[in-house]
Amino acid sequence: MGLATIIRKTKLKERQMRILILGLDGAGKSTVVAQWMSTPTLEVSPTFGFHIHTLAHPPYMLHLWDIGGQRTIRSYWRNYYEETDGLVFVVDAAAPQRLGESMSELRMLLGEDRLASASVLVLANKQDCKGALPVEEITAMVGQFKTSCRVMGCSAVTGDNVSDSLNWLIKDIATRLYHKV
Ligand SMILES: Nc1nc2c(ncn2[C@@H]2O[C@H](COP(=O)(O)OP(=O)(O)OP(=O)(O)O)[C@@H](O)[C@H]2O)c(=O)[nH]1
Ligand SMILES: [Mg+2]
């Protein structure tokens, strides 16, 4: 048995899930993660590189990989694709001028072989902001690339829909990996 197989089996046995959080700079990735971790969202600052957080969500152990989204570091995203169970792509719904850039990055990720088996959750974040694009509009855009992605609206600042989104993701991954929830 090869090392990769042993690691994969251990991961399954220990019910670990690897979740990769990507999206443009300022989309709200680290603030979403802070909500999931129940840590103060006001202390979040731009991510230069990446942060890994471990969150117990019985019976699962989640490894949350929060990667910086600035253009200059996006070329490093590919270093984190391997063994991903869930991809969370965060969109700033209150920045329509950056939607084209955001969708083009998402399209690239959805075409990536190493992410092909991951559950995909797109968060239309910042729904608390006046003029934020409604989730239906972002769903229609994402649907042009892949229909099996789940798109949910949320606000990482108010916490609205943030834990529901994580629950959906865990359930989707668990159904695939363990055939039960
Ligand atoms: N109003 C509002 N502001 C938000 C929301 N989510 C995040 N923000 C703000 O948006 C800014 C950027 O948030 P971050 O979580 O640092 O964004 P990021 O995607 O991690 O950015 P990088 O680390 O640079 O890739 C911060 O000022 C947050 O407070 C939201 O749902 N509503
Ligand atoms: Mg960040």
Query: What is the reported pTM?
Result: 0.95
Looking at the annotation, which residues are catalytic?
Answer: 70
Tens-place pLDDT, residues 76-121: 999 999 999 999 999 999 999 999 999 999 999 999 999 999 999 9
Tens-place pLDDT, residues 135-177: 999 999 999 887 789 999 999 999 999 999 999 999 999 999 8
Domain boundaries, the chain: 18-55+70-177
Q: Residue 18: CB within 6 Å of ligand 1? A: no
**Architecture of the domain spanning 18-55+70-177:** 3-Layer(aba) Sandwich (3.40)
In angstroms, rounded to a whole number, what is the distance separating the alpha carbons of residues 171 and 98?
A: 30
ipTM score here?
0.99
- How far apart are the CA of 95 and the centre of ligand 2, in A? 16
Which residue's CA is the nearest one to ligand 1's atom 12?
26
92: alpha, beta or left? (left if phi > 0; alpha if psi -120 to 50): beta
Closest CA to 52 of 41, 40, 70, 68: 68
Per-residue pLDDT at 28 = 98
Report the SS3 class of residue 69.
coil
